[in-house]
């Protein structure tokens, strides 16, 4: 029987584990789970104004990063400028104690810029104004000089916001690692028990995503034992690196049921590692499709990818992931092609229709709720 997100939040709290890693497809409810967990751990004063609630959410027993964190930032595109080249575009920050402490009090702007450039582009530079409520951006154009007041992409914006949060979290861990509360530089984090991180940066390439996961894992391992982490993601590579770096033997999968309830499935052992193999198989097949070099063995790899995905998701048969309208048809094609034994059946070059089947079935696996990679909309 399924549970509500509130009940799952209670399960996570009652587990009392140092780190809990949760994989879920986009649209399942990861961000809503983070809100339910926050409401459970630190209920907001119902009499407080909405702006005041958002301002105080990152203080107290829980610190969290999710899609709502980005709502603290908004663009001023200078629409009244005479021309596009004259426009002074700025990323503005709603007044809040979260960024005030990181920027104005702790002076973390230099570290934030360094983190941001490491994950994106070392020629792209954010600049904070003296009041730390506006950020402008420039890019080094080489011999042509700097291009000022540019508007960065949504992915770069998300990365910058994450870097601000990450810099805060590093400071928090340093503060709490001082065992004597009276000797800490601030007492505002003395009650902190939980850090909830929901899909930190989904726009990074694989190399930077691995680096990000390693950095988070190092921070977790350096944290005091009474600081608990819950991390949710839709990215298989990200969770696989975290599993290996932190040494967790168990992770969870959040699944939404047809009746609107949820199930938190425990995953143990090799099932946690299967996503890294997923990425390898997927890369090999995609490369063959792109270069039009599909061979018979790619059907074997495609079946293997379906088998690994079905195993992780808990389906008894890999064929259950095939398109419903032609499940039997595609099952026969993969079975026959990947298990051919007669000499006249072993043809090095598949036919064009067979190549299209490989592309279609890989797209089906990636673009449906079996193996979703791109973050579309609000979760």
* Nearest CA among 197, 181, 120 for reference residue 154: 120
Q: State both tokens at 341.
A: 């034994």
Contact 379, 30 (CB under 8 A): yes
**Residue 373: what pLDDT?**
36
Contact 173, 223 (CB under 8 A): yes
Domains in the chain: boundaries: 5-272, 275-367
If you ran DSSP here, which 8-state letter would residue 181 be given?
G
**Residue 340: what pLDDT?**
44
**Residue 96: what pLDDT?**
84
**Residue 299: what pLDDT?**
83
**Residue 276: what pLDDT?**
61
pLDDT tens, residue by residue, 100-121 = 888 988 899 999 999 999 999 9
Q: In whole angstroms, give the CA distance from residue 187 to residue 322.
A: 55
**Residue 248: what pLDDT?**
79
**Residue 203: what pLDDT?**
76
**Residue 274: what pLDDT?**
58
CATH classification for the domain delimited by 5-272, as one of 3.50.50.60, 3.40.50.300, 3.40.50.150, 3.40.50.720: 3.40.50.300
Can you list the residues of the chain whose pLDDT is less than 70? 1, 44-59, 81-86, 269-277, 280, 335-348, 369-379
Helices in the chain by DSSP H: which ranges?
5-15, 30-41, 50-56, 97-99, 109-119, 154-176, 206-221, 236-246, 274-290, 297-313, 327-338, 352-367
Strands 90-93 and 62-65: what pairing?
A: unpaired
Strand partners, 62: 194
What pTM was computed for the model?
A: 0.72
**Residue 370: what pLDDT?**
64
**Residue 240: what pLDDT?**
80
């Amino acid at each position: 029987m399924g549970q509500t997100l509130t009940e799952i939040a209670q399960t996570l709290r009652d587990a009392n584990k140092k780190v809990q890693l949760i994989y879920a497809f986009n649209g399942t409810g990861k961000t809503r789970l983070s809100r339910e967990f926050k409401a459970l751990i630190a209920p907001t004063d119902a009499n407080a104004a909405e702006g005041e609630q958002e301002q105080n959410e990152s203080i107290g027993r829980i610190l969290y990063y999710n899609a709502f964190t980005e709502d603290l930032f908004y663009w001023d595109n200078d629409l009244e400028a005479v021309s596009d080249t004259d426009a002074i575009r700025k990323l503005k920050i709603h007044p809040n104690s979260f960024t005030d402490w990181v920027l104005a009090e702790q002076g973390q702007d230099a570290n934030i810029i360094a983190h941001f450039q490491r994950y994106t582009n070392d020629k792209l530079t954010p600049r904070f104004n003296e009041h730390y409520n506006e950020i402008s951006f420039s890019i080094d154009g080489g011999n042509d000089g700097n291009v000022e007041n540019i508007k960065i992409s949504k992915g770069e914006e998300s990365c910058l916001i994450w870097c601000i949060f990450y810099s805060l979290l590093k400071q928090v861990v340093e503060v709490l690692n001082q065992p004597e509360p009276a000797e800490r530089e601030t007492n505002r984090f003395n009650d902190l028990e939980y850090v909830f991180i929901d899909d930190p940066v989904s726009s990074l390439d694989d190399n930077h995503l691995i680096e990000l996961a390693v950095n988070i894992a190092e921070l977790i391992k350096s944290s005091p034992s009474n600081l608990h982490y819950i991390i949710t993601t839709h990215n298989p590579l990200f969770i696989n690196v975290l599993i290996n770096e932190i040494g967790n033997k168990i992770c969870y999968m959040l699944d939404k049921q047809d009746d609107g309830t949820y199930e938190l499935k425990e995953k143990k052992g090799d099932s946690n590692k299967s996503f890294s193999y997923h990425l390898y198989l997927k890369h090999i097949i995609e490369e063959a499709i792109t270069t039009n070099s599909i061979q018979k063995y790619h059907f074997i790899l495609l079946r293997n990818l379906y088998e690994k995905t079905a195993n992780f998701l808990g389906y008894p048969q890999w064929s259950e992931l095939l398109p419903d309208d032609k499940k039997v048809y595609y099952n026969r094609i993969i079975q026959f092609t990947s298990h051919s034994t007669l000499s006249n059946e072993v043809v090095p070059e598949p036919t064009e229709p067979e190549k299209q089947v490989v592309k279609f079935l890989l797209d089906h696996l990636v673009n449906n709720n079996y193996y979703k990679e791109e973050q579309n909309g609000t979760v």
